[in-house]
């Protein structure tokens, strides 16, 4: 008898867990999180898109600003690697953000030839404002869910189990 796709997925998850014993997340929990992310994207992307347009920032620039807001500074090579771009493309992103005064280039203290990119207070304020918009959108979305729906989320009261 041929196994069902659910049985095959369960075996794959069991195999993956055997390969990585530190992972205790079930396929069902991952599916619930993916469903939530899809719903959250639909609920928040339109607002985020208009906010990005207002700040004259693309999605790629927004992601870069998010990385920079978490780090003290990054080299152009680090930025290219994190963004999955060439160094030339990363340079273009940084150039545009620098013109908007969201980032600045500075020399590394240990090697003046090395150029680092860091977010400015204006860039951090933009990221904080956009993040608050996402929080509002998610709050509204979750307020519209019933208790069972919220509890079924991987981070809800029930922790996505049961």
Domain ranges of the chain: 28-151
In this prediction, residue 5 carries a pLDDT of 47
CA neighbor of 48 nearest in space, from 161, 140, 150, 134: 134
Portion of the chain with pLDDT greater than 70, in percent: 74
In this prediction, residue 156 carries a pLDDT of 56
What confidence tens digit (pLDDT) does each residue in 79-137 have? 999 999 999 999 999 999 999 999 999 999 999 889 999 999 999 999 998 888 888 87
Q: Decide which of 3.40.640.10, 1.10.10.10, 1.10.3720.10, 3.40.50.12280 is the CATH code for 28-151.
A: 1.10.10.10
Sorting pLDDT into bands at 50, 70 and 90, what band is 162?
Answer: very low
Q: Evaluate whether 47 touches 133 at the Cβ level (below 8 Å).
A: yes
* Mean pLDDT computed over 35-42: 76
């Amino acid at each position: 008898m041929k196994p069902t796709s659910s049985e095959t997925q369960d075996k794959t998850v069991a195999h993956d867990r055997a390969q990585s014993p530190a992972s205790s997340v079930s396929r069902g929990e991952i599916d619930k999180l993916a469903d939530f992310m899809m719903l959250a994207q639909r609920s928040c992307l339109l607002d985020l898109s208009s906010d990005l347009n207002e700040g004259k920032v693309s999605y790629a620039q927004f992601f870069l600003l998010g990385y920079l807001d978490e780090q003290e500074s990054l080299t152009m090579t680090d930025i290219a690697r994190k963004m999955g771009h060439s160094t030339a493309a990363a340079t273009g992103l940084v150039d545009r953000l620098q013109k908007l005064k969201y980032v600045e280039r500075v020399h590394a203290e240990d090697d003046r030839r090395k150029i680092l990119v860091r977010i400015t207070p204006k860039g951090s304020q933009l990221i904080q404002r956009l993040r608050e918009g996402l929080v509002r959108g998610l709050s509204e979305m979750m307020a519209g869910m019933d208790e069972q729906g919220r509890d079924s989320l991987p981070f809800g009261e029930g922790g996505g189990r049961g």
